[in-house]
């Protein structure tokens, strides 16, 4: 109701200002905009989802990214909602928020994925930024990290391997890497897979990989990004 009244008043004022000094019109319009946002903007406008109820035993394992909550920002339709208590469920591929006004009640809300463009979560010295991949292409829709974007693009999918351990369902962290090259997605799990993608320069890339002096599975996303940047320079 308030929004409708403000918009109606804005239209009436615009009509009444026709023919007046341009600067005066600009000043009044800016004032109306400021009032509109102050009266209609709500830090919880992005909340659109259902209550999240933990379905796991945190004393045994957790499907959450970094197994805990962090502080971050949610981006929805060009608006950034900052300093939020966030959790990312790797198993369900869902983003969960604990609204500040509900902390005492310990209430969590699963956000409507459709509304989210991307989000960032910080855990002490670790920072993750995940985008919402919506395209109807070979890569399944969902949240992904993109640690490298050049001629090629690196996508990281965080999920879980769910296995029973002594009768208890246990969630083991799982990370999948995909490379977008020449409009085609390639999943690579081992060194051989990556060398096959860049078969025309595999000898040079193999040498680059050896320079890290560690097994391929232990390479960080930053080191993989260095390899991709090197491959593009050849």
DSSP for 27-56, written as a single string: HHHHHHHHHHHHHH--TTTT--EEEE---S
Taking CA atoms, 186 is separated from 33, 80, 152, 206, in Å, by 47, 32, 11, 18
Strands of the 49-52 sheet, one edge to the other = 49-52, 108-111, 94-98, 79-89, 70-76, 118-123, 126-133, 142-149, 153-165, 168-181, 184-187
DSSP E strand boundaries for 32-191: 49-52, 70-76, 79-89, 94-98, 108-111, 118-123, 126-133, 142-149, 153-165, 168-181, 184-187
Q: Between β-strands 70-76 and 49-52, what pairing exists: parallel, antiparallel or unpaired?
A: unpaired
Is residue 74 scored above 70 in pLDDT?
Answer: yes
Q: Which residues of 132-164 are buried (b: 16+ CB within 10 A; e: fewer)?
A: bbeeeeeeeebbbbbbbeeebbbbbbbbbeeee
Using alpha carbons only, give the angle 113, 115, 120 rounded to the nearest 5 degrees: 70
Q: Between β-strands 126-133 and 94-98, what pairing exists: parallel, antiparallel or unpaired?
A: unpaired
135-154 pLDDT tens trace: 878 899 999 999 999 999 99
**Average pLDDT of the segment spanning 103-129:** 88
Note the pTM of the prediction, 2 decimals. 0.77
16-73 pLDDT tens trace: 444 455 554 444 445 444 433 433 345 556 676 788 998 998 888 999 999 999 999 9
Neighbours of 171 (CB within 10 A): 20
Q: What is the pLDDT of residue 3?
A: 43
Provide, rounded to the nearest whole percent, the portion of the chain with pLDDT above 90: 62
Lowest mean pLDDT of 34-43, 128-137, 190-199, name the range. Answer: 34-43
Q: For residue 177, list its beta bridge partners.
A: 156
- Domain ranges, ordered by start, for the chain: 2-40, 49-187
Q: For residue 119, list its beta bridge partners.
A: 74, 130
3 state SS of 194: helix
Q: Are 24 and 17 in contact, with CB atoms under 8 Å apart?
A: yes
Q: What is the pLDDT of residue 32?
A: 41
Instruction: Say which residue, 166 or 193, is predicted with more confidence.
Output: 193
Neighbours of 43 (CB within 10 A): 13
């Amino acid at each position: 109701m308030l929004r409708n009244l403000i918009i109606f008043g804005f239209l009436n004022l615009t009509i009444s200002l026709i023919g007046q000094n341009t600067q005066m019109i600009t000043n009044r319009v800016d004032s109306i905009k400021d009032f509109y946002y102050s009266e209609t903007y709500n830090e919880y406008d992005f909340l659109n989802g259902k209550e999240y109820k933990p379905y796991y035993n945190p004393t045994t394992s957790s499907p959450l990214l970094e197994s805990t909550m962090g502080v971050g920002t949610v981006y929805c339709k060009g608006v950034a909602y900052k300093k939020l208590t966030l959790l990312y469920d790797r198993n369900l591929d869902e983003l969960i928020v604990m609204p500040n006004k509900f902390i005492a009640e310990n209430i969590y809300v699963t956000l409507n994925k459709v509304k989210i463009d991307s989000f960032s979560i910080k855990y002490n010295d670790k920072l993750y930024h995940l985008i919402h991949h919506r395209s109807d292409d070979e890569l399944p829709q969902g949240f992904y990290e993109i640690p490298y974007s050049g001629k090629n693009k690196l996508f990281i999918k965080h999920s879980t391997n769910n296995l029973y351990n002594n009768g208890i369902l246990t969630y083991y962290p799982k990370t999948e890497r995909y490379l977008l090259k020449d409009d085609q997605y390639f999943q690579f799990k081992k060194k051989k897979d990556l060398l096959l993608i860049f078969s025309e320069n595999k000898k040079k890339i193999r040498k680059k990989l050896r320079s890290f002096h560690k097994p391929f599975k232990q390479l960080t996303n930053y080191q993989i990004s260095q390899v991709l940047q090197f491959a593009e320079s050849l």
